[in-house]
Amino acid sequence: MRNPGYARAMGAWEHACDVLFNGLDFGPNLIYSNLTFAPAKNRRARTQIAGMPGYFDYSDQPAGYPVPDAIKGTLELWVRDAAAWGLPVYSGGVYASPEARFNAAIASRPCKLEAYSFNDFFLLCDFEVAKYTRFNLGFRISLKFEAEPYFWEGTARAVEFDIGQTGSVNLFDPEDATLDTSLLPAGETCEWDDTAFDNASSSGRYVLHASPDNYAEVHVTGLTASKRYTFGIRNIYSRGIWQLYDGSGNRLLTWPVTGVTEIVFRMISKSDAALAVGFADLAVYEVGSGYQSDYLETLDAPLKTVYCTANAPARLIVDGAAYALPVGTAVPIYGLDIPPWTKVPITVVSDTACFGYLSYRRGARSCTL
């Protein structure tokens, strides 16, 4: 018979579940009593040498490091309250009992097994139910499993990068730029004014007096088609707009740009011709490659996949090999093969301003690291 104080004791428990399956916490009703496993054994690959006593061991080839088999083990669980274990509850839009959720979790392949005694590591397991025994107060559940040969770190490692490549020299010079007012009607003007800026060659403003939707253009030439450029302009009176074009009249909607030898700033009035519309801080900057160096570090497991989050395309350089880092969130980068217990330098290279991070998980043969 259950102790009369059992229900009150259950309500007073504040500790969490000892073990989680695919992140599911079944509360204090499910605990594990015993976990037994053997660390993964390295695979042996040997062949006898013809005509000689002995064997040729090629276990480390072609990987260059030992390749382990799966971890095999057993997990003993104890369910304290059989009634609660089978009682359906509403969660995630459906009614299901803890038992049903548990059976669905261990049937998934692989199932992520976490325990508070794993020191923030987890196993990826394929489970098999060996025993499912009902007692008066609950269940005793025995599971067999095969797991990946490594305990994986619960917290992913992250390498952040923030690369800014805009050049420091403003290529815009009003003395070299061409101001085109040929499309303005008679009586409407646009002029360069630097009298308030101590006659600095690249400081000043264009002052436009034009009726709505009439415009003047500033042509910046002498650019190199093989280079990349970014640019900007500031409306200082808030009664006009500006647009950007290349020398062929194509609208430039995104930048940096390449393949252009001329950039055209079109300054458009949205005011009366009697009122001034001003445009200042015209800038053209050459954009080149930038880079940032760091390192990736492994434990017992080789590093095969790194996930990238970046706001612009970039390249990852590892041991002289280049891997594309596309734009996106947690995009996998395949093709890496960094051996165990290695600290390898890396370089992230970008042709434009770029920021983001690389994330990866390290694996160990033991959860005691």
Q: What is the pLDDT of residues 319-331, one digit of tens each?
A: 889 999 988 899 9
Q: What is the pLDDT of residue 255?
A: 76
Final residue before a domain boundary, out of 253, 287, 321: 287
Same domain flag for 223 and 252: yes
Q: Which residue has the higher pLDDT, 12 or 286?
A: 286
Same domain flag for 234 and 200: yes
Same domain flag for 307 and 230: no
Q: What is the pLDDT of residue 236?
A: 86
Judge whether 172 lies within some domain: no
Domain count, the chain: 3
Same domain flag for 232 and 123: no
- Domain of 90, CATH number, reads 2.40.30.200
Domain membership of residue 331 as a residue range: 157-165+289-364
C-alpha span between 21 and 34 (Å, rounded): 16
Judge whether 369 lies within some domain: no
Band of residue 13 on the pLDDT scale cut at 50, 70, 90: very low
pLDDT digit string, tens, across residues 99-155: 999 999 999 989 999 988 788 899 999 999 999 998 878 899 999 999 999 999 999
Q: What percent of the chain has pLDDT over 70?
A: 91
* 119 burial level (CB within 10 Å; 0-12, 13-18, 19+): middle
Final residue before a domain boundary, out of 236, 268, 287: 287
Same domain flag for 18 and 145: yes
Same domain flag for 88 and 208: no
Judge whether 294 lies within some domain: yes
Q: Which residue has the higher pLDDT, 368 or 105?
A: 105
Among 222, 231, 173, smallest CA distance to 200 is for 173
Q: Is the dihedral of CA 263, 268, 274, 279 positive or negative?
A: negative
Band of residue 250 on the pLDDT scale cut at 50, 70, 90: very high
Q: What is the pLDDT of residue 202?
A: 52
Q: Which residue has the higher pLDDT, 28 or 157?
A: 157
End-to-end CA distance of the chain: 44
Q: What is the pLDDT of residue 268?
A: 95
C-alpha span between 333 and 326 (Å, rounded): 9
Judge whether 273 lies within some domain: yes
**Long-range contacts at 335-339 (CB < 8 A, ≥ 24 apart):** 336/303, 336/304, 336/305, 336/306, 337/63, 337/302, 337/303, 337/304, 338/296, 338/298, 338/302, 338/303, 339/64, 339/65, 339/298, 339/302
Same domain flag for 210 and 255: yes
Same domain flag for 298 and 275: no
Judge whether 1 lies within some domain: no
**Is pLDDT at 6 greater than 60 in this prediction?**
no
**Is pLDDT at 198 greater than 60 in this prediction?**
no
Same domain flag for 193 and 331: no
- Domain of 325, CATH number, reads 2.60.120
**Is pLDDT at 201 greater than 50 in this prediction?**
no
Same domain flag for 197 and 305: no
Among the ranges given (59-63, 182-186, 299-303), the one the predictor scored with the smallest mean pLDDT = 59-63
Which residues face 163 on adjacent strands?
354
Same domain flag for 283 and 302: no
pLDDT digit string, tens, across residues 36-95: 998 888 877 777 777 777 777 766 766 778 888 899 999 999 998 888 898 888 777 788
What one-character DSSP code corresponds to residue 141? E
Q: What is the pLDDT of residue 12?
A: 43
Among the residues of the chain, which ranges form H helices? 6-12, 82-85, 98-107
Judge whether 171 lies within some domain: no
Final residue before a domain boundary, out of 287, 315, 336: 287
Q: What percent of the chain has pLDDT over 90?
A: 49
Judge whether 310 lies within some domain: yes
Q: What is the pLDDT of residue 197?
A: 54
Judge whether 31 lies within some domain: yes
Same domain flag for 31 and 51: yes
Band of residue 307 on the pLDDT scale cut at 50, 70, 90: very high
